[in-house]
Structure formats: C-alpha cells, structure tokens
Amino acid sequence: MRIFLVVAMMALLPASLSAQSRVATTAAQFLGIGIGARAIAMGSAQVATAPDIASLYWNTAGIARNKGVQLGAVHSRWLVGTTLSWAGLTYNIPNVGTFGAAATLLSSGDIERTTERQPDGTGDVFSANDVSIQLSYAASLTERFSVGGSIKFISQSIWTTTAAGVALDLGVLYDVTDFLRIGATMYNFGTQMNITGDALLVNSSTGTGAAGENNGIPARLATDNFNLPLVFKIGVALQVVQEKDHLLVIALDGVAPNDNNSYLNLGAEYAWRDLLFARAGYNTLFLSQSEMGLAFGVGVKYGFAGFNFRFDYTFQTFGRLNPPQWLSLSLLF
C-alpha cells in the first residue's frame, strides 16, 4: 500500500521538469495561498493530516471529523506589504454531517495613484482586494471514509475594475489503518473570470476624421476570459511514532495544478501530550524557480472549562521575498 501511494504521487510529477509551466495564465491566484500556521509549517502537506478548522481550505472532507463547534482565525503579513486574513466556522450535527463557512481576504492596503503625466502621484489612492466566501458540507459515510465539498464565491477588484466567479471544491479522506490515512481533493473547478469596470472606458475613433470618420466615440475595452487555478492533490499521512505522550506524523502531498508543473509538499509534526507542538516542512519540492521552501512552526493547545484553545505560529521562508509570518487561533467547544 505504501509503495502504491508513493508511485501515485510521483506520477503527478511532469515527465520533464523543464516543460512549459503555464505560470500566470489563470485568474484569482490568491486561492493558492495556503491557510493556517499549522499547515504552512508542515510544508502545506495537509490533504491527509489530522483534520482541524483549516480543513475548510485543505480538504473539506476533513471537517466531517470535527466535533461540536470550531472557530478559527488566521492572519499573515503576506508578500510586498499585503495582508491575508481568514476566518472559518464548522458545526457538526450528529447523524447529519458537518456544515462550514469561511471567508478569505487578501488586501494591498492603500496605494498612491500615479500616471504618466503625474509620476509623483495624483493625490488619489486605490487598493487591490481579493475575496473568497465559501459554504461547505462534509459527512462520514463509514467510520473510516469521509467526503466533502464547498462552493466558493470569488471576487477580485482593483481601482474601478472587478472580476467575479464561482468555484467548487471536492475532497475525500480515508483511514487505511489506525496509523495511515490517505486523501484526495480537487480545488477551484468553476467559471471563468472576466474583468469589467469603468477603468476600461476609452474614447475611440474610426479614423483620422479627415474623411468624415467618427472621433471620440465612447467605447469599452474587452478583456479575455481567464480560467481559475484548478488543482488536483493526493496525500498520505503516516504516524511513525504513536505513544502515550508522543506523536510524530509525517505527511506527503502530490500536487498537480493547471498553471504550473507538478510538485510535492513534505511536512512533519511532533506533539507532546497533545499540548505542545513542533513542526517543519518543505513546500514545492521538484518545482524549479519557486521562491517557497522551508517552514518552521510551533503550537500550543490548552483546555479550560469545556473549551479548547489552540495557538500556532509559523515562519515561512520565501527566497528573495520577505518571509511571511503566520498566526492562527482556534477555539473548539
């Protein structure tokens, strides 16, 4: 079984790593930014790891294992001055399933507007904002097998232009044994996105005007339709140490996006008494020209008066760019 899983993941790798990758050919790239300090610390190898509130992003089937009510929030100072915020909720109804909702916001903050004639600024400011709102449902069909899905409403805006789309996520999760779990998921299967807005308004003409052609005709520029960043993943999580006070999990994901070459994510998590956690991982193995790489993180989980609080912190290396730092807070009751 283990050999089969490794072979299946390696099959996701391209026949030639130098093949054309189609980078930057899809819209809504913010959908590919991973969610959660714990997940990022494990190199984003999360398809089959122990479910938590961030399963709303990584594998919706995982929320079927969440009990009661779980709340989670994530914040990161992302790249080049942007900020990423996420909030999620899951609610389990026995014998019915688990319902969930989440929202993601990537924001540039205020940017000073400049033009060719006013390179020092016009006095106006604008911002770029990417938003995703999802509704999810998952259920355990057996004690070992879970399925789940999400519908996402996606919006991107910059200055006076916007684009919108709808996408579907699907996932499955299966416990092969008490120490081996596998999962698979598909993200962002949905509509194309097209940019519209007043910024596309221009004055056009049919000629010079010397022969009676029309000048100064109000017109609107047409833009192409762009696909969403469709991604297929298969993952495995193996508990290599499982003792009373110690738990060590190693996870491996194979990732096949429609706008890049395939690659692997690798991560590990050590837990002491389900109280203190240490994590490390590597993102985008075998993907050339990737700025992502090593990540490290710690976490603490504490129960009080029927509530369980979880705090996680992660430092993520990002090549020549500023390293993002992640903070996550979860509440279980």
pLDDT tens for residues 195-248? Answer: 998 888 888 776 665 666 667 788 888 889 999 999 999 999 999 999 999 999
Work out whether the CA dihedral 57, 286, 295, 235 comes out positive or negative: positive
Structural domain boundaries in the chain? 2-13+35-111+127-197+232-332
Strands 69-77 and 325-332: antiparallel
CA angle 248, 313, 297 (to 5 degrees): 40
CATH superfamily of 2-13+35-111+127-197+232-332: Outer membrane protein transport protein (OMPP1/FadL/TodX) (2.40.160.60)
Beta-ladder partners of 161: 158, 197
Structure tokens that stand for 107 in this block: 């924001």
pLDDT at res. 7? 39
Quick one: residue 38, left, alpha or beta (phi over 0 = left, psi -120 to 50 = alpha)?
alpha
Q: What is the value of pTM for the model shown?
A: 0.88
The radius of gyration computed from the CA coordinates of the chain, to the nearest angstrom, equals: 23
Distance from the Cα of residue 71 to its chain's centroid: 18
Q: How far is CA 135 from CA 167, 222, 239, 318, 319, in A?
A: 11, 32, 31, 31, 34
- Split at pLDDT 50, 70, 90, the class of 46 is very high
Structure tokens that stand for 246 in this block: 């110690």
Structure tokens that stand for 92 in this block: 């389990």
